[in-house]
Structure 1
Amino acid sequence: MCRCHFHRRSVLGLLAAAPLLAACKEPDEGPVEIRWGRETCTICGMIISDARYAAEIRDPEKNIFKFDDIGDAVHWLSVQDWKADPTLEFWVRDSNTGKDWLDARKAFYHPDTISPMDYGYAAVPTNEPGTVTFEVMRAAVILRGLSSRCLPVEEWTK
């Protein structure tokens, strides 16, 4: 086969694939889908498999970080230099549906829930009997400390 014929086919193939590759790029805002049972938590490294407890954080540079439990996300965010940046985005899955993403800071949390990393909180969209606000949940998670199932801070802050 002539080299220029091979080159032309390669270029045409790349051009044809370009729209598909562009479609695979994650959006610059909003939550992204998690490949359940395949992707791992940013802080503990465990596989994210239970949609009812998943969380995501998008940093000011638009990088996305995925977590298997809101408690891991809270701890991870607490050590970031940009934790108070108003452009960061923070979501958690609605534990009732396991499908809808909620703004983590506006969601309410049922305490005393069995969650993947044992922090014990499940997010819901409305203030139901027995729920607490994000700030109350966050303070309790920080006070409790890291789950015994998590890697030491030094391992995930490198």
Structure 2
Amino acid sequence: MYAQRNTSTAPRPRQGFNRPAPVRLRMALIMRSRMDFGPLGDMETALRFDGVSLAPVSTGDASLVSGGVTVLATATADDISGGRVKGVVAPGGATDEAGVAQVKALLALAKTQGLPVLAFGEGVALAAEVYGVAAEAPGAVFQGDKVALINDRAQLSAVVATIS
């Protein structure tokens, strides 16, 4: 019925709703078993909302399953050293020795490349240890010898806007 008339009262699709944010940059997400972003909640969604594409990096077989879903690792340490990612996201997670050693190795690689590291939950303590600085907050950004603490999503958005 509406197709036969050209009127302004015809139903129209609502465009622009539920459309993902445009991707500005790609960052490596260190996958850990029992991955946790701490008191800030689901930071993956917040980062995606800010235009960050997350490329999972595996730290072992146990990290490939998250919430009952098998995750395909789409980045490697070579992507960090080759400049194909603009930073590293380090959440908290399981504290097994092998996994922690791999996380520290990836954080050290990011440090040598001068990439920013966004750490959350228990990942803040690991990153602080690798960078040799003190930091205690729900989240923190490490780059060079500087640390910026993140206590809420607004601070995260402000930090992500400065990464290029």
TM superposition score normalised by structure 1: 0.29
Q: Point out the structure with the larger helix share.
A: 2
Q: Point out the structure with the larger strand share.
A: 2
